[in-house]
Amino acid sequence: MRAFQLTSHDTPPALADLAVPDPGAGQLRLDIAACGLNFADLLMMSGQYQDTPALPFTMGMEVAGTVNAVGDGVTGFAPGDRVAVFGGQGGLAEQGVFDAARAVKLPPAMDFVQAAAFQIAYGTSHVALDHRARLKPGETLLVLGAAGGVGLTAVEIGKVMGARVVACARGADKLAVARAAGADHLIDAASQDIRAEMKALGGADVVYDPVGGEQFDAAFRSCKPEGRILTIGFASGSVPQIKANHLLVKNLSVLGLYWGGYLAFRPEVLTGSLATLLDWFDAGKITPHVSDVLPLERAADGMALLRSRKSTGKVVIRIRD
């Protein structure tokens, strides 16, 4: 089978021919139909991600496909089932073996491309806004990087949760995508002063930040008393340094969120969140936005789209129909 494999942090990943793996106890083997790309994939390529697997490994954190074999002890799944899996690796391949505990059956209305774009982005935003920040109806939510993979889902989820959503992104095209996702107000990070714009809107109760850098600093100063700031990632490449004395002046809270980390200590947070999100999908409240769908041979081009920030929403690699 073909697989997009990383063998060194000093050289780019490339397609390789690998043997088809057999499922072990508690595992499923999938005919992989699609794999969603994430900013974390870029960090894995350079060895900077907190959960970078040992080399060599097949890239691709989240997949959707059809079960073709099950290992010993697996219950609840059978060959022919359509599933999505957050595997952490192994997704950019024609077949893959994953723990059954990480798999979820797809609703009939969800296609494989949507499913491959669903778990990490929507899961991150829902756990962040609901479980961590306790976002309330009527509160003002500022979303940085609002046209990106996770940012756009934060806009959608914020609206479903009843917040007034302010979307911040670079350029009119990206802001138009955020507006279509339900944003009430728009801030162009390329030409407008985030702090001044938020002051005119009365400030933020919750900030969702996958960007870091100067935008974090401006959003930090835009918070209302008892504001909550969610640190999701640092797409700008700059990790903010927070002065603790500034937190106490407004009684602010800075909340970290690593979605995948809950698998190790509170997996029920993720399973409960995912059940809610799938219900919202079935009800038409949320719809994955995929700007680019590319074949496996162009997986490197998909990574380049993420790196250049030219995509909106998600980039998905389609491996089979």
Crossing angle of helices 151-160/172-180, nearest 10°?
30
Q: Looking at residues 118-143, what average pLDDT do you find? A: 97
Q: Looking at residues 28-47, what average pLDDT do you find? A: 96
Q: Looking at residues 132-145, what average pLDDT do you find? A: 98
User: Would you say residue 309 has pLDDT above 90?
Assistant: no
Q: How far apart are CA 44 and CA 203, in angstroms?
A: 36
Residue 134 in tokens: 């306790």
Q: Looking at residues 128-141, what average pLDDT do you find? A: 98
Residue pair 229/220 in contact (Cβ under 8 Å)? The answer is yes
User: Would you say residue 42 has pLDDT above 90?
Assistant: yes
Domain contains 55: yes
Residues 6+ apart with CB under 8 A from 108: none
> Does 133 share its domain with 187?
yes
Instruction: Give the pLDDT band of residue 75 (cuts 50, 70, 90).
Output: very high
> Does 44 share its domain with 30?
yes
Which residue type, as a one-letter code, is found at position 226? E
> Does 114 share its domain with 21?
yes
Indicate the average pLDDT of the chain: 96
Domain count, the chain: 2
Residues 6+ apart with CB under 8 A from 66: 30, 31, 33, 80, 81, 82, 83
pLDDT, tens digit (0-9, with 9 covering 90-100), for 177-204: 999 999 999 999 999 999 999 999 999 9
Looking at residue 212, which CATH number applies to its domain?
Answer: 3.40.50.720
What are the helix (H) ranges across the chain? 39-45, 112-116, 119-126, 151-160, 172-180, 194-200, 213-220, 244-250, 262-265, 267-282, 299-308
User: Would you say residue 133 has pLDDT above 90?
Assistant: yes
> pTM of the predicted model, to two decimals?
0.93
> Does 28 share its domain with 81?
yes
End position of a domain, from candidates 241, 260, 279: 260
Q: What pLDDT is recorded for position 44?
A: 95
> Does 87 share its domain with 186?
no
Domain contains 75: yes
Q: How far apart are CA 289 and CA 267, in angstroms?
A: 26
| 89 burial via Cβ count (<10 Å: 0-12, 13-18, 19+) | buried
Which residue type, as a one-letter code, is found at position 18? L
Of the candidates 35, 23, 84, the residue with the CA atom closest to the CA atom of residue 61: 35
Q: What pLDDT is recorded for position 37?
A: 97
> Does 109 share its domain with 19?
yes
Domain contains 279: no
User: Would you say residue 321 has pLDDT above 90?
Assistant: no
Domain range for 151 is: 121-260
> Does 256 share its domain with 128?
yes
Q: What pLDDT is recorded for position 117?
A: 96
Q: What pLDDT is recorded for position 118?
A: 96
Domain contains 269: no
| 48 burial via Cβ count (<10 Å: 0-12, 13-18, 19+) | exposed
Looking at residue 53, which CATH number applies to its domain?
Answer: 3.90.180.10
> Does 249 share its domain with 221?
yes
Of the candidates 88, 48, 89, the residue with the CA atom closest to the CA atom of residue 239: 48
Q: Looking at residues 256-269, what average pLDDT do you find? A: 93
Q: Looking at residues 267-281, what average pLDDT do you find? A: 95
Q: Looking at residues 198-216, what average pLDDT do you find? A: 97
